[in-house]
Amino acid sequence: MYLLNKSRQTRQRQRALIAAIVTGSFLAQAGCGIPELRCAKSGAPLPQAYNRPTTMTDTVNWDVATSLASEPKALDVEAPAKGGLIRLTSFLRQASDIELTQAEKSDAKTGDAAEDDRSASYSSVDNAQVSAAPSILFDGNPISGGSSFDLANNADNSVQSSWHQFFDDPFLTSLIDQALVGNQELRILAEEIQIACNETYARSGEYRPFVDFGAGVGLEKHGQHTIDGAVEEQLEVAPGRAFPDPLPDFLVGANVSWELDIWKKLRNAQSAAAMRYLGSQEGRNYIVTRMVAEIAENYYDLLALDNRLVTLDKTIEIQEQSLKTAESMKEAARGTELAVQRFQAEVRKNQSEKLIIAQEIVEVENRINFLCGRFPQHVDRMSVEYIDLNLRSIRAGVPSQLLQNRPDIREAERELQAAGLDIKVAKARFYPSLNLNAGLGYQAFAAGYLFRTPESLIYGIGGDLIAPLINKRAIQAAYRTANAKQLQAVYKYQQTVLTAYTEVINQLNKVDNYGKSIEIKKQQLAALEASVDSATKLFQNARAEYVEVLLAQREMMEAKMLIIDIKQQQLAATVNAYQALGGSGGGPASFN
């Protein structure tokens, strides 16, 4: 009879536990407080060269150490029903098309394997109310017109090569090497990456059991007229031996607490942190690319200023010869003092201009020194005919390669993935959480009895299942906030791709048009040099006025300065095109 009653009580407890779990799960469902997610609006349509829709899947090979192991499945490309997934026409590559580097794989080693359901985390909107047409990042309709550059017909991309190959000037590459080592901004970013890595590492511990070990010693005195004191007065530790008064307490034990990650909330939070960590690495790659381009641009500005000085020196030399001619003609009564004064004024003007350019050289040198993380000093540079200076040719490559090579686009992808995971984390807070707790140790009133087994052995085990029931405003607000941040990530990705495309088109056209302009300016300069020579000879033979010589010399100098300025802008456009195509963060390949 006793065993029958005990069995009946056990079954009743099991039914009660199952009922509690089912009831808690039911109360946490979507109809009980989970808000609907908002959809992202479609971005501007991309040109035909970029219009190759691919289903947005995980851009990371999830075989990343042990924390990101299982590769997610591709998303459904059909228009989803309510609560389904949404197709994204974008240039987030499929997992089969891209793999993390070995450095990323080793850096992201922070936790246990994740399940295949992570693929749902990367959709633009999860469980969203959608219209008949699926929401996409960019429309699939091609547009006509565009740049003269056919980006899609090139077989490779220039940026996939190292900047050592692109900038073959040893002085410039030495400056870039120094900047990569000494630049303070890069050091700050390195620490931010370390912070993101630490966050990932911390998140990976949240879904593992927590084990605490401790020891304690205490002394307790109860009043005789209290319940505890009266009980101790009546009890004996051993026959004929009363409890000590006051009562010592010695304790040694371990406690275990573990939140079972039944909804993947903790693992998704760790994966989101891992994505942001990888995104911070891409952010550093972008800063490296920008810094390399900035150093190169300032370096070529420095060469341009050097050539401006050379041009001024040559112009001053020609004008001084004309001044001597004017003075000789005045002494021979063949000229006037006015011609001498005008030539003197022109010489002094150009000598003053030299000092201004010298100051600009100091400032540009110090900008380079600052980027290199060193105090002001002379910047070594090569001496070259600036007008004939050319960098390696730029090729845009396949558009999908462009998106792979741009660190800022890869960073936006990582942020978009992290935002999708944050949605799942916020949603899991509506569901019941299951916690287990246990303890094991020894406790006694005397050190001599502390490790007696089983007399001093203590242990306990328990669990709790908790689900939100009333007043879910905080978690609802957090869920909507995660949705808003996810939409921000989508729009930021759209904006980043649009910016990348615009930058590439602008810079490549700029390189091309400025190159053509330089060729025309060279023809103009040749004609002006000939006119200066003719005007000088005519002036020496008293067959031309000094004003004609002055104007010819001034126009020639202005043309030389202008062609240097155009060349400077062409080189800057080439450097900026290198950055726009991904720069040093683009990975290894070859140039033209």
Distance CA 528, CA 558 (A): 10
* Residue 122 in tokens: 């990367």
Question: At a CB cut-off of 8 Å and minimum separation 6, what does 464 contact?
Answer: 434, 435, 437
pLDDT given at position 147 = 32
pLDDT given at position 483 = 95
**Whole-Å CA distances, 476 to 58, 270, 430:** 27, 21, 8
* Topology classification of domain 213-260+435-466: Outer membrane efflux proteins (OEP) (2.20.200)
The rounded Cα 579 to chain-centroid distance in angstroms is 15
Q: How many helices (H) and strands (E) does the chain have?
A: 12, 8
Q: Is the pLDDT of residue 241 over 60?
A: yes
Which is more confidently placed, 120 or 485? Answer: 485
pLDDT given at position 575 = 92
Cα atoms found within 13 Å of the Cα of residue 145, Cβ hemisphere only: 2
Q: What integer is the mean pLDDT of 502-509?
A: 89
Label residue 381 by pLDDT band (50, 70, 90).
very high
CB 148 within 8 A of CB 509: yes
* Residue 412 in tokens: 């936006």
Q: Is the pLDDT of residue 452 over 50?
A: yes
Q: What integer is the mean pLDDT of 304-314?
A: 93
* Residue 240 in tokens: 């004929």
Q: Is the pLDDT of residue 522 over 80?
A: yes
333: left (phi over 0), alpha (psi -120 to 50) or beta: left
Q: Is the pLDDT of residue 111 over 80?
A: no
Q: What integer is the mean pLDDT of 415-440?
A: 94
pLDDT given at position 109 = 46
* Residue 80 in tokens: 């989803």
* Residue 163 in tokens: 């900047």
Q: 64: closest CA among 104, 121, 118, 117?
A: 104
pLDDT given at position 50 = 46
**Domain range list for the chain:** 180-208+264-432+471-581, 213-260+435-466
Of 78-87, 103-112, 470-479, least confident by mean pLDDT is 78-87
pLDDT given at position 362 = 96
Q: Is the pLDDT of residue 499 over 60?
A: yes
Q: What integer is the mean pLDDT of 217-243?
A: 78
Q: What integer is the mean pLDDT of 434-442?
A: 95
Q: Is the peptide bond before 53 cis (omega within 30 degrees of 0)?
A: no
Task: List, as own/partner pairs, every contact residues 237-244 make where C-beta atoms lie below 8 angstroms and the sequence separation is at least 24, other chains included.
Answer: 237/445, 243/445, 244/445, 244/446
pLDDT given at position 398 = 53
**Whole-Å CA distances, 390 to 151, 354, 574:** 22, 26, 9
| Strand 457-466 to 433-444 pairing | antiparallel
* Residue 269 in tokens: 């939070």
Q: Is the pLDDT of residue 10 over 80?
A: no
Q: Is the pLDDT of residue 88 over 80?
A: no
Cα atoms found within 13 Å of the Cα of residue 573, Cβ hemisphere only: 20
* Topology classification of domain 180-208+264-432+471-581: Outer membrane efflux proteins (OEP) (1.20.1600)
Q: Is the pLDDT of residue 549 over 70?
A: yes
DSSP H or E segment with residue 252: strand 247-260
Of 145-159, 292-306, 359-373, least confident by mean pLDDT is 145-159
456 residue type, one letter: S
CB 159 within 8 A of CB 520: no
* Residue 257 in tokens: 């607490």
State the alpha helices, DSSP H only, in 386-472.
399-405, 407-428
Longest dimension (CA), the chain: 145
pLDDT given at position 75 = 28
Which is more confidently placed, 45 or 64? Answer: 45
pLDDT given at position 264 = 93
Q: Is the pLDDT of residue 5 over 60?
A: no
Question: At a CB cut-off of 8 Å and minimum separation 6, what does 22 contact?
Answer: none
Question: In the beta sheet, which residues pair with residue 257?
Answer: 210, 437
pLDDT given at position 356 = 95
Which is more confidently placed, 11 or 590? Answer: 11
Question: In the beta sheet, which residues pair with residue 457?
Answer: 442
Distance CA 523, CA 321 (A): 25
Average pLDDT, the chain: 76
Label residue 244 by pLDDT band (50, 70, 90).
confident
Of 183-197, 212-226, 370-384, least confident by mean pLDDT is 212-226
Question: In the beta sheet, which residues pair with residue 438?
Answer: 256, 461
Sign of CA dihedral 365, 366, 372, 378: positive
Q: 32: closest CA among 434, 485, 481, 429?
A: 429
pLDDT given at position 324 = 87
CB 122 within 8 A of CB 56: yes
Q: What percentage of the chain carries pLDDT values higher than 90?
A: 41
**Whole-Å CA distances, 409 to 386, 401, 405, 415, 501:** 35, 11, 8, 10, 11
Label residue 209 by pLDDT band (50, 70, 90).
very high
Q: What integer is the mean pLDDT of 437-446?
A: 92
Question: In the beta sheet, which residues pair with residue 256?
Answer: 211, 438
CB 115 within 8 A of CB 419: no
Distance CA 572, CA 505 (A): 15
pLDDT given at position 232 = 73
Quote the crossing angle between the two packed helices 337-371 and 546-580, to the nearest 10°.
10
Of 156-165, 224-233, 334-343, least confident by mean pLDDT is 156-165
174 residue type, one letter: S
Label residue 487 by pLDDT band (50, 70, 90).
very high
Q: What integer is the mean pLDDT of 187-193?
A: 93
pLDDT given at position 22 = 59
CB 250 within 8 A of CB 443: yes
Q: 116: closest CA among 147, 81, 71, 77?
A: 71
Of 209-223, 224-238, 315-329, 408-422, least confident by mean pLDDT is 224-238
pLDDT given at position 279 = 94
pLDDT given at position 19 = 65
Q: Is the peptide bond before 407 cis (omega within 30 degrees of 0)?
A: no
Q: Is the pLDDT of residue 81 over 60?
A: no
Q: What integer is the mean pLDDT of 546-567?
A: 88
CB 137 within 8 A of CB 45: no
The rounded Cα 473 to chain-centroid distance in angstroms is 33
Of 7-16, 155-164, 293-302, 480-489, least confident by mean pLDDT is 155-164
Q: Is the pLDDT of residue 124 over 80?
A: no
pLDDT given at position 63 = 42
Q: Is the pLDDT of residue 7 over 90?
A: no
pLDDT given at position 178 = 93
Running DSSP on this structure, what letter comes out for residue 128?
Answer: B
27-41, 335-349, 410-424 — most confident range: 410-424
Edge to edge, the sheet with strand 210-220 lists 210-220, 247-260, 433-444, 457-466
Q: What value, to the nearest 5°, has the Cα angle with vertex 442 and ends 439 and 447?
A: 155
Label residue 138 by pLDDT band (50, 70, 90).
very low
pLDDT given at position 548 = 84
Q: What percentage of the chain carries pLDDT values higher than 70?
A: 71
33 residue type, one letter: G
Q: Is the pLDDT of residue 125 over 70?
A: no
Q: Is the peptide bond before 244 cis (omega within 30 degrees of 0)?
A: no
Could you give the 3-state DSSP secondary structure of residue 549? helix
Q: What integer is the mean pLDDT of 347-372?
A: 95
Running DSSP on this structure, what letter comes out for residue 574?
Answer: H
